[in-house]
Amino acid sequence: MARGAGRRRAVRCRSGVSPLIRRALVTGAAGGLAAGIAPALARDGFARVAITYRVTSPDTTLAAIEAAGVEAAAIRVDFLEAVEAVEAALERGVAEQGPFDTLVHAVGPLVVKRFGNASLEDYRTALDGNLRSAVLAARATLPAMREARFGRLIFFGMLGSAATRPFRGFALYQSAKSALVAFARCLAVEEAGNGITINVVSPGDIREKTLDRPQALTRPARNPRGRLGSYEDVADVVRFLIAPQRDFITGQVIEVTGGLQTAAE
């Protein structure tokens, strides 16, 4: 599914203007934080912003992307399906809507249960939805980035995932996110010579995913900053990291938490 005429924009590199036309893939952007992040990329020189969705209709996000004057596309991918099904859906999406120079992988189902109450299905959801999904998304998009000698990958961690900080009820989810951080940082070392940067953004406790910053500024919260976080706070970090000029920042984990350090704060 592709919509909108789009604007063709090139990436300015050290050697001048590259023929690469910027296209981003934002996974899981039919809802949640990614639904606000995807349209925000329209301000950063992208000709097309494609999103993946599973069940929730992607139409609202597509309309927001198009309203910013950028071509929008939707690809149905259920990252919890069998590996072969996920790979086939991503392969079709990349062939039809790519190649992509930017991947913002926001898929990552939240699993919060004490380990004694968790099932093996919870384990599969946490690991497949957060870690395996990132591996498959990277495998699908990296070949074109290597060929172009330019790419930006963003994965999403959680508070404390870079330091395996423990929280009650997060044995499976934090394990998956910490493994994702390890994957991203190792991959960053391997791909740096190809002009590809790979970083992790870790949002804090942002429960109201549709709040913009002006709304969040009026809402108190129990973090050192004293206000709720917004999708714009996270989008700003993503937009900073995927800019062509950010080629010297890779393998990093940036927490967007309002200064929150522990789940009890």
Instruction: Say whether pLDDT at 14 is over 90.
Output: no
How confident is the model at residue 261, as a pLDDT? 80
Q: What is the CA radius of gyration of the chain?
A: 18
Tell which wins on pLDDT, 62 or 204: 62
pLDDT (tens digit, 9 = 90+) per residue, 117-146?
999 999 999 999 999 999 999 999 999 999
- Positive or negative torsion for Cα 40, 44, 47, 48: negative
Conformation bin of residue 240: beta by default, left when phi > 0, alpha when psi is -120 to 50: alpha
Residues 6+ apart with CB under 8 A from 116: none
The secondary structure of 146-197 as a DSSP string is HHHT-EEEEEE--TTGGGT---TT-HHHHHHHHHHHHHHHHHHHHHGGGTEE
How confident is the model at residue 20, as a pLDDT? 67
Number of Cβ within a 10 Å radius of residue 113? 15
Q: Cα angle vertex 238, ends 236, 241, to 5°?
A: 110
Provide mean pLDDT across the span 184-207: 95
Least confident of 10-14, 168-172, 207-211, 252-256: 10-14
Burial class, 190, CB count within 10 angstroms (exposed 0-12 / middle 13-18 / buried 19+)? exposed
Token pair listed for 200: 């992790």
Strand 2-3 with 10-13, pairing: unpaired
How long is the chain?
265
* Longest Cα separation, the chain: 57
The pTM (predicted TM-score) of the whole model is: 0.91
With b for 16 or more beta-carbon neighbours within 10 A and e for fewer, the 154-170 pattern comes to bbbbbbbbbeeeeeeeb
Cα within 13 Å of Cα(2), Cβ side: 16
Q: How does residue 263 score in pLDDT terms, banded at 50, 70 and 90? A: low
How confident is the model at residue 206, as a pLDDT? 86
Domains in the chain, CATH or no CATH each: 2-256 (3.40.50.720)
